[in-house]
Structure 1
Amino acid sequence: MKLTWLSSVENAHDDSVWACTWVPATDDRQGLLLTGSLDETVRLWRHNDGLARVNTLTGHCLGVVSVAAHPSGRIAASASIDSYVRVFTVDGNDTIATLDAPSSEVWQLQFNPQGTTLAVAGGSSASVKLWDTAEWKLNATLSIPRPEGIKPSDKSGNKKFVLSVAWSPDGRHLACGSMDGTISVFDVARAKFLHHLEGHNMPVRSLVYSTAPLDKRVLFSASDDGQVHIYDSEGKTLIASLSGHASWVLSVDASPDGAAIATGSSDRTVRLWDLKMRAATQILTNHTDQVWGVAFQPPGGTGVRNHLLASVSDDKGISLYSYS
């Protein structure tokens, strides 16, 4: 497995780029890259020989910190530290819904694999809200419980701040990463907390489940402690800890073939990790500032053998790589 640099866009936004995801292809359009920036905009990009900007979408009054694409490829959502989530059509930029999340900023969001629910991490509200995508009504609020051993009198409210969310491949479970380093796993249908996954001692910035058919219980986490953890999310077991980044690990994503993960870090690098070797096989240094997001294009966009990886950074740029 290998990442090959294809192209970069300098000054892709007017400020730091903190979020990226791929919008699935539709019958009449190829897949697009969606990016969100502290310049308060969301931008869409088409890949041909390089990245070409398709549209700039506005609507937030503070920086955009997370973006998510619906499995249909028709709609997407952006979250901002202005405490609002904007849901919009990808091709027309029509606002479908505006989800209010006071009194807490929204940090990360993700549609479930079926496209029926949008999970929104509520930051300092210490909860994740589940929104029905048919009528955009609030279905449930999942409150992050206090880890065992912490007394109610402890001044740890800020430690429960929710930073990251990830859906299991079947949509049954939702994992949430918090400021205190714990990961909470929920049964979504019952809106029930199941257990914590422990091992990190600093904020968990990013989570993703494995894409390998036989490893659907496997969860990857990225943390400010510089570690990438591999968990059996149902067995509550830490399988492995991957070391190598020199600073915070801000983002993690799983390759479409399930054989690798990519990470972005405040050490300004993107790393490709071989999951069999449990080691980084490539270190890419295209960015000049911390890398906030990495995202593999899902299957179906670029053929069977080659897939795209995008990375975004505080340097305002986007880099694109071929994964093969």
Structure 2
Amino acid sequence: MTSTTMAVLGHSGRVTTVAISPDGVWLATGSQDQTVRIWDVATAATIAVLRHSGRVTTVAISRDGVWLATGSEDQTVRVWDVATAATIAVLRHSGRVTAVAISPDGTWLATGSDDATVRIWDVATSTTTHTLTGHTSRITALSIAPDGTWLATTSNDHTARMWDIAATTDAPFVDNPSGRSGAVTGVAVSSDGTWIATIGHDGSVRIWDPVTAAITAVPRHASPMHAVAISAGGSCLAIGNDDGTVRIWNPTAAITDTLTGCTSRITALAASPDGTWLAIGSNDSTLRIWDAGSATDRSLTHFGRITAVTISPDGTWLAAGSDDGTVRIWDRDATAVTATLTGHTSPITTVAISPDSKLIATGSADGTVRIRHATTTADIATLTGHTSRIATVAISPDSKLIATGSNYGTIRIWRLADGNRVTMMRTDAPLNSCAWLPDGTALAVGGDKGLYLYTFVDDSAVPGI
């Protein structure tokens, strides 16, 4: 076998990038001489010379070979017609352009810059449709999935990120840590979806509007907070504290009551659907049922520290997870355990019941989520893929999807019907809590660096639904 090497000459500076046309007939090269040259592969002849006002850093060719996009240190991306060498559009960053990628269908392109942002552009209108933020340093590479539904980016900040193009808004990071001195440890959504409550390790509570992002800060508590629940009618907000107390607030942030009796940190809270009682879990291995009408409580004993608690949508039973790796189920009025769920190999971290009360999901420090029938407790599926502790689980209002979040900062969306993952988002810090908005169009996620709101356009925005 023999091989032939052909040299093409013409650039007056170092060649920095090269791309080959889909049909292999021509190629494009970018150079420090501020030009892009298009070459005929068979003859090595220059077909066209395209000019920037700075060093060319990246070249990408559309799948049909009709146009190409070039990025430069002049902070622009230029879109060119290959046949005429005419400029179709000039797209501008606020820093040097370092990477360009074109979607498989050619309708949009992604550009990265040393301004640490990734921009998504509509090719037809030459306008920015999304600006992806989160990287803290120069973008080094971009890659679009073959089906065009997600984008991978890498950066000099030592991280790689995956972005769901169809399903997320351009700014999922809504509530930043400004004003907080610690992580967001809990999030809860009101039943009508008009407000969201977040609590912090620094004792702060915030109530904000998911549409306008307007935030109301309420007075801080003296100790860290780790559990939060909202009554079904939205008339009260229950917050569990490190000092063993539970504070009841109205939506305007006035304290209406303080519950005592637990001897250690409150770790889990759940409000009954009718708002008449609370389930309170703590580090002292007890689960307390507090009746709002009589202002009395009773205790149920677990065999380990209570780490999670949830109440069925019909209010007839509740489930609590423990660091002994089990989940115990009680009837609302009973004192005896009706079922014990086993199978996890590490402490339980989170428990969720589907809105139709048919399924129960449990997350664990073993990195798995188990889905079971609520009545028979038979296993349906075990969700694997997270590489660290499961921190939060939430089932969508229509009981079709489940969201799982981990200490590694990833949020995965799964189909409950078959246990298949349909999409994934990534943040840059560990996650602590998540909750769906009542209409299922958005997911609020609390983590060590703030609150994220992921908005899903419609069912078609989540692949496979």
The change in CA–CA distance for 1:52 and 1:183 in structure 2 (over 3 A counts) is same
- Looking at structure 2, the residues matched to 61 and 233 of structure 1 have their Cα atoms a distance apart, in angstroms, of 38
- Looking at structure 1, the residues matched to 194 and 239 of structure 2 have their Cα atoms a distance apart, in angstroms, of 19
2:206 counterpart letter in structure 1: R
**Identical-pair percentage:** 27
Give yes or no for the alignment of 1:314 onto 2:407. yes
- Looking at structure 2, the residues matched to 168 and 73 of structure 1 have their Cα atoms a distance apart, in angstroms, of 17
Deviation, 1:201, is 2.4
TM-score (norm 2): 0.52
Query: Are the equivalent residues in 2 in contact too, given 1:168–1:217 (CA < 8 A)?
Result: no
Which of the residues 118, 126, 129 maps onto 2:247? Answer: 129
- Looking at structure 2, the residues matched to 261 and 240 of structure 1 have their Cα atoms a distance apart, in angstroms, of 12
Which of the residues 187, 193, 196 maps onto 2:291? Answer: 187
Question: SS of the residue aligned with 2:293?
Answer: coil
Query: Are the equivalent residues in 2 in contact too, given 1:244–1:280 (CA < 8 A)?
Result: no
1:75 counterpart letter in structure 2: W
- Looking at structure 2, the residues matched to 138 and 144 of structure 1 have their Cα atoms a distance apart, in angstroms, of 18
Deviation, 1:13, is 7.9
- Looking at structure 2, the residues matched to 275 and 95 of structure 1 have their Cα atoms a distance apart, in angstroms, of 37
Deviation, 1:173, is 0.6
Deviations 1:208-243 (A, max 9, x none): 1112x4xx2200111111001101132222111110
Alignment of 1:221-260 (within 5 A): 221-260=320-359
Deviation, 1:189, is 3.3
Deviation, 1:90, is 1.1
Question: SS of the residue aligned with 1:221?
Answer: strand
Query: Are the equivalent residues in 2 in contact too, given 1:230–1:240 (CA < 8 A)?
Result: yes
- Looking at structure 1, the residues matched to 134 and 408 of structure 2 have their Cα atoms a distance apart, in angstroms, of 9
1:180 counterpart letter in structure 2: D
- Looking at structure 2, the residues matched to 189 and 141 of structure 1 have their Cα atoms a distance apart, in angstroms, of 15
Corresponding residue for residue 174 of structure 1: 278
Which of the residues 110, 121, 144 maps onto 2:261? Answer: 144
Corresponding residue for residue 290 of structure 1: 389
Deviations 1:151-172 (A, max 9, x none): xxxxxx5xx2111110112111
- Looking at structure 2, the residues matched to 189 and 101 of structure 1 have their Cα atoms a distance apart, in angstroms, of 26
- Runs in 1 of length 4+ with deviation above 6 angstroms? none
Deviations 1:96-118 (A, max 9, x none): 2324111x111111110010100
TM-score (norm 1): 0.74
Alignment of 1:147-158 (within 5 A): 157=263
Considering only CA atoms, is the larger Rg found in Structure 1 or Structure 2? 2
Which of the residues 143, 148, 164 maps onto 2:268? Answer: 164
How many residue pairs end up in the alignment? 255
Deviation, 1:277, is 2.5
1:87 counterpart letter in structure 2: I
Which of the residues 377, 386, 403 maps onto 1:278? Answer: 377
Q: Which runs of 5+ in 1 are unaligned?
A: 1-11, 15-45, 146-156, 300-305
2:305 counterpart letter in structure 1: P
Deviation, 1:92, is 1.8
